[in-house]
Amino acid sequence: MSAGDDPDHELLARVFLTRVIEPGDEVCGRWMRECGVREAARRLRDGGPRPPAVSEKRWAGLRARAGQAEPRRDLDVAREAGVRFVCPGDAEWPGQLDDLGDTRPLGLWVRGRPSLRIWALRSVAVVGARACTEYGAHMAATLAAGLAERGWVVVSGGAYGVDGAAHRGALAAGGATVAVLACGVDRPYPRGHTGLITRIAEQGLVVGELPPGDHPTPSRFVLRNRVIAALTRGTVVVEAAYRSGSLVTARAAQRLGRHTMGVPGPATSALSAGVHELLRKDAVLVTDAAEVVELVGDMGELAPDRLGPVLPRDLLDAPTRHVLAALPARRAATAEEIARGAQTTQDDAIARLYELRSLGYVERHGDGWKLTRQSMISVRGDRSRC
């Protein structure tokens, strides 16, 4: 890689650096901000003063990596796989990633046709346990499908468990989903999700910081989560133990000022313990897509009120309900007795009793009135809610 006046030199420098510097390296990120990406690449390739915060041993390791980097070859391999490299400043670059400061990605390798910038503007992360329960998988898929149906992009990490369920839920609803990988986007990981990640690439987007063919490591999984948090308007955690990697995403979202949400689980479930800890602090409890959208969406996108089922007797006007409530549960009563209980006149009570009879709530027994069997069930159910 030579400097010259090549207009693609900035691109080549960034591609080169993705082979040399690990994702999320704050020390190197600060160094590149201070001296510039091109100069940092030149020093690593050709030799030059090392950054003050980098030890000689580490600098030697970085230089060794630099000697193996071939940015033009990486771009050729990516192009053959249908992958493009998106840099800060490009039209497709999501500006919200700049909130990561010195840990901002050097660029993102993107597989899929849609615009990453446009999709990220209206996106939500759904993350959680890899070894999730049936409940966790159901909630993740249902949430993702609901978000997709409302025009939101579902972002997750492509892993087993909650991640996979979220991607599948969005795809099943005919919606948009993005998988952020901790490896080269041309090498799906985990292997068992090759079919799923291929489908995501065909219908959505697969993105990552690492160049073609690069492999995942435990630290790369953790650092990948900051990208998921930064890309999206908010993060929903579905099932997470105390040490779950999905909590890293949630905490990154909180630091970035994004919305953080959690789906509650059984109080006895260790897989929900991490979510419950989030909810005890700054996270918001959500149970469906409407509640998520109410939090992260535009003004006016409100979740419906949760009022329980509407019973037939709820449709009666208040005076008629008072007359119905005045009837004894297990015996007949006279119109005079009912009127006293409803605090109305006897004529008014009789008129409303005939209305209630036509609706099937009461029946006539000689000179008295009695609740029908169906009405007795309704009244008992209503009283149990009080």
Tell me which of 2 and 350 has the higher pLDDT: 350
Q: Is residue 2 part of a domain?
A: no
Question: Does residue 242 share a domain with residue 193?
Answer: yes
Question: Does residue 333 share a domain with residue 257?
Answer: no
Question: Does residue 195 share a domain with residue 139?
Answer: yes
Question: Does residue 332 share a domain with residue 196?
Answer: no
Q: Is residue 305 part of a domain?
A: no
Q: Is residue 304 part of a domain?
A: no
pLDDT of residue 243: 86
Last residue of a domain, one of 296, 323, 341: 296
Q: Is residue 307 part of a domain?
A: no
Q: For the segment 140-171, what is each residue's pLDDT rounded down to a tens digit?
A: 999 999 999 999 999 999 999 999 999 999 99
Tell me what the mean pLDDT of segment 169-196 comes to. 95
pLDDT of residue 359: 82
Last residue of a domain, one of 270, 296, 322: 296
Tell me what the mean pLDDT of segment 365-373 comes to. 87
Q: Is residue 4 part of a domain?
A: no
Last residue of a domain, one of 271, 296, 321: 296
Q: Of the given ranges (168-182, 197-211, 330-344), which has the lowest mean pLDDT?
A: 330-344
pLDDT of residue 174: 94
What DSSP line would sit under 139-161, residue for residue? HHHHHHHHHHHTTPEEEE---TT
Q: For the segment 223-242, what is each residue's pLDDT rounded down to a tens digit?
A: 999 999 999 999 999 999 99
Q: For the segment 22-76, what is each residue's pLDDT rounded down to a tens digit?
A: 999 999 999 999 999 999 999 999 887 888 888 889 999 999 999 999 999 999 9
Question: Does residue 239 share a domain with residue 203?
Answer: yes
What DSSP line would sit under 246-260, residue for residue? HHHHHHHHHHTT-EE
Supply φ then ψ for residue 242, to 5 degrees: -60, -35
Q: Is residue 90 part of a domain?
A: no
Q: Contact at 8 Å (CB) between 258 and 234?
A: yes
> Domain of 379: which CATH number?
1.10.10.10
Query: Pick from 217, 265, 214, 209: which is nearest to 238 by CA?
Result: 265
Question: Does residue 213 share a domain with residue 64?
Answer: no
> Domain of 237: which CATH number?
3.40.50.450
Domain housing 277: 95-296
pLDDT band for position 284 (cuts 50, 70, 90):
very high
Q: Is residue 87 part of a domain?
A: no
Q: For the segment 93-105, what is each residue's pLDDT rounded down to a tens digit?
A: 999 999 999 999 9
Question: Does residue 321 share a domain with residue 271?
Answer: no
Question: Does residue 133 share a domain with residue 53?
Answer: no
pLDDT of residue 366: 87
Question: Does residue 183 share a domain with residue 48?
Answer: no
pLDDT of residue 355: 86
pTM of the model: 0.79
Question: Does residue 239 share a domain with residue 126?
Answer: yes
Question: Does residue 242 share a domain with residue 119?
Answer: yes
Distance of CA 268 to the CA centre of its chain: 24
Question: Does residue 110 share a domain with residue 41?
Answer: no
Q: How many domains does the chain have?
A: 3
Q: Is residue 301 part of a domain?
A: no
CA distance to 1, 30, 32, per residue, from 35 (Å): 18, 9, 5
pLDDT reading at 378 higher than 70? no
